[in-house]
Amino acid sequence: MPTAAEIATLESRRATRMRWWLSTPALAVVFLFAVAPLAVIVLYSFMEKGDYGDVKYWQFSLDGWFSVFFERGLFDDSIGIAQAHVSILWRSVKLAAITTLVTLLIGFPTAWFIATRPERQRDFWLFLITIPFWTNLLIRTFAIQEVFRNEGVLNSLLLWTGLIDKPFQIMFTDLGIFLGMAYVYLPLMVLPVYASLEKFDFRFAEAASDLYATNSRTLCHIILPMTRPAIIAGCILVFIPALGAYVTPRLLGGGKNLMLGNLIELQFGQARNWPLGAALSLTLTAAVMLALLVYVRVAAKSGGRAHG
């Protein structure tokens, strides 16, 4: 006769096998639509460039990875930095970081305003924040064009008020890309911060005020530390899609102000250099993973302080 411990072990193994069987459909979907395409991109990045926009299968080469940051001279074998790629990578990181910072500076007060409204009014303000998500990103970007172009709403208003005497160039500049991305990704900052502030116990702020703490000290020492995980989550939600943005830089930046997403599309399209495009895609993936690792470490430290 099996003992009670052996029976418990058998039941545990049977339950584990059952969980794996039940998880099989989900694991298959993840493999087919996430792991397998990523594996193909990894494989392409180590293959030789094809003659017609494909790759030479099973002819391995490191030229794709080499060309991410370096380039060879046209008339000799001299090696130099790929200035165009480095410039585009720097522009992508810079604009994504500035977009994240500005959306935080705008989004936090917005979330605070909504969280401090009477409960019956909050749904209305959240409704206004989420309205842009009802419209396709491409349509929203075209709408922003009508605001920023030389004959658009903004320049017409500034000319009418006499603040400027000629249209201010916003389209096809880094400023235009930044403003467009800030508009597109602002709700992704507001919503997680609001979710945290909604649960915030405002009696802490009242207690600080009773102890003669200034508003700035209350903000820095009570409100921000308690909402830090939500702020970090909002920054990640904005930074990651902004880093790989394609539509907004394509329409608002034109052909000169490329970002990393546009460069990847260019390699798979007109340049017909699939290994370089695959290597650039993996570089972007690595940057995103790095951002997520930073988020996990910071969130873990914040959680540890909160429990301590």
Question: For 46-95, how does the pLDDT look when each residue is reduced to its tens digit (9 = 90+)?
Answer: 999 988 888 988 899 999 999 999 988 777 778 889 999 999 999 999 99
HSE at residue 268, side-chain half, CA atoms within 13 A, is 13
Identify the pLDDT of residue 305: 57
Identify the pLDDT of residue 304: 59
Determine contact, residues 287/90, Cβ cutoff 8 Å.
no
Identify the pLDDT of residue 99: 96
303: tokens are 């959680």
**Whole-angstrom distance, CA of residue 83 vs CA of residue 89:** 10
Determine contact, residues 45/279, Cβ cutoff 8 Å.
yes
Kindly state the helix (H) or strand (E) to which residue 71 belongs, with its residue range.
strand 70-72
Handedness of CA 154, 155, 159, 163 (dihedral sign): positive
User: What is the per-residue pLDDT across 208-257, written as a single tens digit (0 to 9) for each?
Assistant: 888 888 888 888 888 998 898 899 889 999 999 999 999 999 999 887 78
What domains does the chain contain, in order, with CATH numbers?
A: 1-45 (no CATH), 83-307 (1.10.3720.10)
Mean of pLDDT values over 115-139: 90
**72 pairs with which residues across the strands?**
79
Burial of 61 (0-12, 13-18, 19+ CB in 10 A): middle
Pinpoint the alpha helices (H) of 74-173: 83-115, 119-130, 137-148, 153-161
HSE at residue 165, side-chain half, CA atoms within 13 A, is 0
178: tokens are 């930044």
Evaluate if residue 296 carries a pLDDT over 80. no
**79 pairs with which residues across the strands?**
72
